Structure 1
Amino acid sequence: MTVVEELKKAKKGDLKAIDQICLATWEPLYRFIYYKVQNREEAEDITQETYVKTLTYLQEHQAPRDNFMGFIKTVALNILRDRWRQKKRRGIPVNFDGINPQETAGLDQQNAIAQRLQIEEALAKLSEDQRAILDLRIIKGYSVAETAKLVGKTQAAVRTAQYRALQALAQIMDGH
């Protein structure tokens, strides 16, 4: 049975038809929403809310015959946009009375020092060549061509070395 036929039955209140529609569309809809929010609980909530709004809409309106999946994805996107707008308007509540500026600044400085030490320690584990290329390209901001001249390599070799150095650095940092 097609989704259009199931929609006709669902509009009349057929619970089996509603169940079939949900079974047929749940996985692609959930994946679509999860891709947008990257959070399992939120994706589940939005998926459920999408079905409720879609089925409520279908009680009073005609179902789109040609692209039902596109229709419910549009409903999901509208729900997402509404949630994002609400979050943006709400902001993050901050208790300014409970903040000690000296303590906060001290913690920020401690975190910055710890992070810098962690990065320096990770950089020390790279080869001298990798450190030199990262220093020239990222820290000093030289172009690929300028770096290639300074280290005596081709531009392709510099790009490859930079890529490998960053990959190695990421692996070292993940190991911390």
Structure 2
Amino acid sequence: MEKPNLKKNQELELNIEDLSYEGKGVAKVDDFTLFVDNALPGETVKAVITRVNKNFGFARTLDVLKESPDRVHDIDAIYAQTGIAPLSHLKYDKQLEFKHDQVVTDFNKIGLKDITVNQTLGMESPFNYRNKAQVPVRQVNGKLTTGFYRRRSHDLVPMENFLIQDTKI
């Protein structure tokens, strides 16, 4: 496979075919794989390439041109910036299917094809379940501010509701 002529910061339209084990959308450009943040299978997105490696690359969604019926809009986009809830844009029942399929795939990869994997058990509410957190604190404009780091950086994204953390935290 020859790597297509893709460059960092190049914008292109992509059809998302699958989800990676990290929950990134998977698109192909001339059989070259791109992993796309904030994209779901069945979507067409306008994306910008953020990195190109020898065998695969990464991109970030700029706009969703054709939306998946499994996309959720009621979660604040701030969580997608930090990566603390990488599947928050996917309906909860589809998240459970995704997790089940990941276990089946992992078993298949190591030759355990005859194992029955039960469906993933869900919760009444998929929020506020974590009871431990390491929350960065920074001084911003003379005031202590909590939040989480923007993906792949040490830039603080200020927030007070951590979505998946127990509210007592």
- With the length of structure 1 as denominator, give the TM-score of the two structures: 0.20
Indicate the structure with greater helix content: 1
Q: Which has the higher strand share?
A: 2
Larger radius of gyration: 1
